[in-house]
Amino acid sequence: MEFGFYMPTRVKIGKNCVLKNSDDFKIGTKALIVTGKSSAVNGALDDVLNVLNKNNTEFVIFDKVMSNPTVECVYEGAEVAVEEEVDFVIAIGGGSPMDAAKAVALLAVSDLDRIQLFGSDIGHRALPMIHIPTTAGTGSEVTPYSILTNHEKQTKKSIASDCLFPQYAFLDAKYMQSISHDVMVNTAIDALSHSVEGMLSVKANIMSDIVAAEAIRLISSQFKNLKEGIADKEILLYAAMLGGVVISQTKTTAVHAMGYPLTYFKNIDHGRANGLLLGEFMKYTEKYEPLRVKKILSVMGIENTAEFKNIFIELLGKRDNFSVDELEMYSYISEDTGGVKNSIHRPNVDEILEIYTKSLID
Ligand code: NAP
Ligand code: ZN
């Protein structure tokens, strides 16, 4: 046996966990709250402001984070952090505000240009962070990744460093009461995808597999409820966090790498993009690693990969339109990415095109 495991984020789960743990918010003297246009208006911002006022902690709000945050947005946030001399960051929202907050926390203390930002030498420092997820999908609250839209590369690119692990994550499903049906479905699929991909990663280990299997079991138990709009949000929030724990060890695979161009060029939601591709990637991997795939199917209580693919067809509804030319371009963009290289069986460019075509056109 040979493997390592690192998970430095202190996670607190449960109703009113922010209000009940106000002392944990004393990790600095002035906070930058990083959030999106609507992701804070669900009670989360009120609770945080309540706690900061109780602690006599100063704060500034940066609420300009859009879905799939851009490099420009995080430099703007970092400028505010420096000007306002904040010494910690509080992220409130889905994966977009949480990922933006990580890059802001990094850029607030490190003078990195746009090329260095995505390089391997970003240093080891970032402002301390508290993350409050308001979607049940990305698990970004427990990962060391920040994924940003990079127009120069015409896709989404990851920044990865242990210094991007938040110090605290507070998970309270009460913030998810007014979430839309589509966001609920897409984010649940993203969370499932993290755990499935974690089990199909070259970095999978016995511990990440245990966590992934539990997340897959929990999310699968909610598929029927998701369709009917009555999913248990607390279970999904917990399972999404477990999925984050998984990819913090294993990273994601070809599914995420191939999903990024769908989001970049067609504005397809991150979780939906993964869900459109996951079925065919499982079928592809089954040819080379049948036992791994069987293990995932058995956790879900299903017989075969056709049944697996069908779950996503039913959840995602009508497919988006793609041309062969578009899929060829996406195949070349995805081919040389870390995600593709991280897959237990690595598809070449022709196989990537085949997975795209079978997923999106056939
Ligand atoms: P999101 O872009 O953060 O949010 C999707 C939508 O839901 C937005 O319109 C958002 O509004 C809204 N929303 C969020 N919380 C809400 C709530 N409680 N009630 C009502 N509406 C709410 O989507 P996401 O799927 O959570 O995150 C996707 C991003 O995470 C992508 O950029 C993806 O690449 C990244 N990601 C990161 C990791 C990682 O490990 N770091 C892993 C997977 C994915 P606002 O826009 O107004 O906030
Ligand atoms: Zn994801």
**What would the DSSP string read from start to end of 77-129?**
HHHHHHHTT--EEEEEESHHHHHHHHHHHHHTT----HHHHTSS---S----E
Domain that holds residue 68: 10-176
Ligand 1: residue whose CA is nearest its atom 10: 39
Question: pLDDT band at 54, cuts 50/70/90?
Answer: very high
Query: 5 in a domain, yes or no?
Result: no
Question: pLDDT band at 58, cuts 50/70/90?
Answer: very high
- Asked if 138 and 91 touch (Cβ cutoff 8 Å), the reply is no
Ligand 1: residue whose CA is nearest its atom 3: 94
In which residue are the tokens 């237990």 written? 344
End residue of a domain, out of 137, 159, 176 = 176
Same domain, 99 and 141: yes
Whether pLDDT at 47 is above 90: yes
How far away, in angstroms, is 99 Cα from ligand 1 center? 9
Question: pLDDT band at 40, cuts 50/70/90?
Answer: confident
pLDDT at residue 103, rounded to an integer:
98
pLDDT at residue 318, rounded to an integer:
80
pLDDT at residue 155, rounded to an integer:
85
Ligand 1: residue whose CA is nearest its atom 20: 179
Same domain, 209 and 342: yes
According to DSSP, residue 343 is labeled B
According to DSSP, residue 201 is labeled B
CATH of the domain at 86: 3.40.50.1970
Q: Please name every residue paired with 146 in a beta bridge, in sequence order, or none if there are none.
A: 159
User: Cβ–Cβ contacts within 10 Å for residue 183, how many?
Assistant: 19
What stretch of H or E contains 290? helix 290-300
Query: 4 in a domain, yes or no?
Result: no
pLDDT at residue 325, rounded to an integer:
97
- For ligand 1, pick from 18, 34, 39 the residue to mutate: most ligand atoms within 8 Å of CB: 39
pLDDT at residue 202, rounded to an integer:
98
How far away, in angstroms, is 58 Cα from ligand 2 center? 33
Residues with CB under 6 A from ligand 1: 36-39, 42, 67-68, 93-97, 99, 134-135, 137-138, 140, 143, 145-147, 156, 175-176, 178-179, 183, 187, 190, 270-271
Please give the backbone phi and psi of residue 12, each rounded to the nearest 5 degrees, phi first: -125, 130
How far away, in angstroms, is 50 Cα from ligand 2 center? 31
Q: Which residues contact 102 (CB under 8 A, 6 or more apart)?
A: 91, 126, 129, 140, 145, 146, 159, 164, 166
- Asked if 155 and 143 touch (Cβ cutoff 8 Å), the reply is no
The number of domains in the chain is: 2
Q: What is the pLDDT of residues 236-286, one digit of tens each?
A: 999 999 999 999 999 999 999 999 999 999 999 999 999 999 999 999 999
Q: What is the pLDDT of residues 185-243, one digit of tens each?
A: 999 999 999 999 999 999 999 999 999 999 999 999 999 999 999 999 999 999 999 99
Q: What is the pLDDT of residues 119-147, one digit of tens each?
A: 988 989 999 999 999 999 999 999 999 99
Query: 2 in a domain, yes or no?
Result: no
pLDDT at residue 38, rounded to an integer:
83
Question: pLDDT band at 41, cuts 50/70/90?
Answer: confident
Same domain, 168 and 219: no
Q: Kindly compute the dihedral angle of the four CA atoms of residues 34, 229, 248, 78, in this order, to the nearest 10 degrees.
A: -10
- For ligand 1, pick from 7, 161, 183, 337 the residue to mutate: most ligand atoms within 8 Å of CB: 183
End residue of a domain, out of 148, 176, 204 = 176
Whether pLDDT at 153 is above 90: no
Sheet of 88-93: strand order equals 10-13, 168-171, 129-133, 88-93, 30-36, 58-65
How far away, in angstroms, is 322 Cα from ligand 2 center? 22
How far away, in angstroms, is 194 Cα from ligand 2 center? 6
Same domain, 92 and 241: no
Question: pLDDT band at 311, cuts 50/70/90?
Answer: very high
Percentage of the residues of the chain whose pLDDT score is greater than 70:
100
Percentage of the residues of the chain whose pLDDT score is greater than 90:
94
Whether pLDDT at 320 is above 90: no
Same domain, 152 and 86: yes
Q: Which atom of ligand 1 is nearest to the CA of 102?
A: 41
How far away, in angstroms, is 171 Cα from ligand 1 center? 15
How far away, in angstroms, is 95 Cα from ligand 1 center? 4
Ligand 1: residue whose CA is nearest its atom 39: 140
Question: pLDDT band at 39, cuts 50/70/90?
Answer: confident
Q: Across all residues in the chain, what is the average pLDDT? A: 96
pLDDT at residue 20, rounded to an integer:
98
pLDDT at residue 120, rounded to an integer:
87
Whether pLDDT at 1 is above 90: no
- For ligand 1, pick from 18, 34, 38, 164 the residue to mutate: most ligand atoms within 8 Å of CB: 38
Same domain, 230 and 341: yes
Question: pLDDT band at 152, cuts 50/70/90?
Answer: confident
Report how many helices (DSSP H) and strands (DSSP E) the chain contains, helices first: 16, 8
Same domain, 107 and 166: yes
Q: Which atom of ligand 1 is nearest to the CA of 244?
A: 40
pLDDT at residue 148, rounded to an integer:
97
- Asked if 224 and 314 touch (Cβ cutoff 8 Å), the reply is no
Q: What is the pLDDT of residues 286-310, one digit of tens each?
A: 999 999 999 999 999 999 999 999 9
Distance CA 252, CA 21 (A): 32
Same domain, 113 and 126: yes
Query: 308 in a domain, yes or no?
Result: yes
